[in-house]
Amino acid sequence: MAETDRLNESTDWIDLEFVQRERTPPQLIKKGIRHHLAGLSLSNTVVLLEESGVKRSRTAVHNWVQKADLQPSGGENLDRVAVDQKSIRINDEQYWLYTAVDPESNKILHSRLFPTYTVPIAREFLTELTEKHAVTDAVFLVDDADDLIAGLRRENLSYRVQQHGFRNAVERVFCEVERRTSSFSNCFSHVDPDTAESWLQAHAVWWNQWLS
């Protein structure tokens, strides 16, 4: 898909149940959410809305994304899953983004942000993943991350250490996350971890829709 198509897909995947007495037309709320997740900064999203005749603040757009509570859906049945973790800076602290990806479609299956990386955290992430998708019989593709390997063993999940090939799917996702967080000077500033995690999960939903 062409880069320009990032800003042109439908918005049917955005649920506006959170909207009650919002004065902004629903389609423009969806447009703001989609464009911000697709690549526009909050400031540029505000400018885009102004061009559509609606004046809203950066905070309003931020709140729309948060209140929409977008998360990757469940129910996939897969033979292979690529998993990895990556450091993410929030203010002046380091957190870890755990992500599972379908290596065939590159779609994100599950994504969580944790304050560190440990075997218990890896197990928590894997448990959530197996509850969300039918992947207990899948082969998990992982690099040499000790926490993930130990977590997979303790959860009795099959795995294969693989640096390239199908495991590149999760690396492509992390490259996209890096591309977007560059809008925030390579980190999230002036937000709490829950807010950052909510944005990352919402971005994962947009990513999956963009690949569809």
**Domain residue spans of the chain:** 14-68, 80-211
- CATH number listed for the domain at residues 80-211: 3.30.420.10
pLDDT for the residue numbered 181: 64
Tell me the C-alpha to C-alpha distance, in Å, between residue 155 and each of 45, 86, 128, 129, 149: 43, 21, 12, 12, 10
First CA to last CA across the chain, in angstroms? 10
Q: How many other β-carbons are positioned within 10 Å of the β-carbon of residue 16?
A: 16
Residues 6+ apart with CB under 8 A from 170: 82, 83, 84, 99, 100, 101, 103, 141
pLDDT for the residue numbered 22: 67
Q: Which residue ranges of the chain lie beneath pLDDT 50?
A: 1-7, 185-186
